Amino acid sequence: MPFDPAVIRASFAVVELRADHLTTFFYAHLFSHHPGLRPLFPAQLHEQRDRLFAALTRIVRGLDEPDRLTEYLRALGRDHRKFQAAPEHYPAVGDSLIAALRQCSGHSWTPETEKAWTEAYTVIARIMIEAADDLPAQDPAWWETEVATRRRAAPDLVVLTLAPMRPYPFTAGQYVTLSSPRVPRVWRSYSLANAPRPDGSLELHVRRVPGGLLSPVLVEDVMPGELLRLGPPLGGAVLAPGSDRPLLLVAAGSGWGRTKALVEQLTAEQPDREATVLLAARSAAGQYDLDTVRRLLVRNPRLQVLTAVPHPSAGPGGTTALLRRTLLRHGDFTGWEVHLSGAPELVAELAELLRSLGAAPELVRHDPAPVTFNRARPLTSSDWFLDRRDVPWINRTDLG
């Protein structure tokens, strides 16, 4: 690297305590100096500011692993095509980033610090631009798709069937980012809930998130015939090619969607492979797709499905506790391939447990699992230091 990572890390430790001020200043500077860029961003910027700071955090933390960081930046560059990011936008973003860092650094900002950040951003921008340019010219930045059907599967959850206007290549276990014209420039990630189908249709299981910008619209308002946009498929938590290891698939709540896609692929390609699905929900009403489970059991005689619902008195952590007890009773997962789908906190806890029960870390697969976003906004750097917010990534591609 042409820049000094130690200088970057030391500088970031200072501005990290003023994250809200930094990101607010960044967008104010960007839009005042380049007003033509404002239409590329959502109307509400509070979550956009969090995503910016989350990406900066991910980059600074990754400086010691340049190969992994490069792959993350390449994924980010490819994904930014759906935001209509173009090479000519990167210098403007860089100027505003340096201005915001300088503003928030106070007396700790030195010529050496500015030199390191300028060199670092030059490398970041080059990697992201090259990654986007390396894609085949025929690859779209996004796919237009029509909502073919919608089914209310639970009071707060719908199953959407989408019909892309052009072939959408993906592998079971991947996820997609989605946007609706009803909420312009807002993209959210959803697991693809089916293996590739002959008709090219896609299935998404969408649960309403209280206070969310997109999920309430998808659950309550979007109807068949409406057009949505899909970003490129993301994620590498797919079935290991050529593996015949026994499979454990743990799904909680709407995490069943991703698990369903993997079971469909398994049933079509490896019907003799041993597989156990542990299907959990917070309540009996939360197990919303049991008819599909029964059909898959009929088609796949080697598939075993165990349902897990905690007692109503178990409290908020009841599902996780029940899953932990079930896995501990099994005892040993040496040699198993494991797939986890569900709330980020649950996935992180169960991944650690399974590794302690003998599962090889490289065989425990799940989407990156940042902790659930805390929407309370600290007012001062002291608030940030004492109660740090958890921030969502621009996309969930954490590559490991």
pLDDT digits (tens, 9 = 90+) for 116-156: 999 999 999 999 999 999 988 788 989 999 999 999 999 99
Higher pLDDT, 166 or 330: 166
pLDDT at residue 6, rounded to an integer: 92
Question: pTM for the full model?
Answer: 0.80
pLDDT in tens, 347-392: 999 999 999 999 999 999 998 754 434 444 444 444 544 454 444 4
Residue 302 predicted with pLDDT over 60: yes
* CATH 2.40.30.10 residue spans of the chain: 143-230
Topology of the domain comprising 247-365: Rossmann fold (3.40.50)
Residue 393 predicted with pLDDT over 60: no
* CATH 3.40.50.80 residue spans of the chain: 247-365
pLDDT in tens, 29-51: 999 999 999 999 988 887 788 88
pLDDT at residue 19, rounded to an integer: 87
pLDDT at residue 369, rounded to an integer: 53
Give me the chain's average pLDDT, please. 88
Distances (CA, A) of 122 to 75, 125, 257: 17, 5, 40
User: Residue 337's pLDDT band (boundaries 50, 70, 90)?
Assistant: very high
pLDDT at residue 225, rounded to an integer: 97
Check: CATH 1.20.1110.10 for 5-137+377-386? no
pLDDT at residue 272, rounded to an integer: 92
Residue 87 predicted with pLDDT over 80: yes
pLDDT in tens, 229-274: 999 898 889 999 999 999 999 999 899 999 999 999 999 999 999 9
Q: Right CATH number for 143-230 from 3.40.50.920, 2.40.30.10, 3.30.70.990, 2.60.260.20?
A: 2.40.30.10
pLDDT at residue 392, rounded to an integer: 41
Average pLDDT over residues 63-75: 90
- Helices 5-15 and 111-133, packing angle to 10 deg: 100
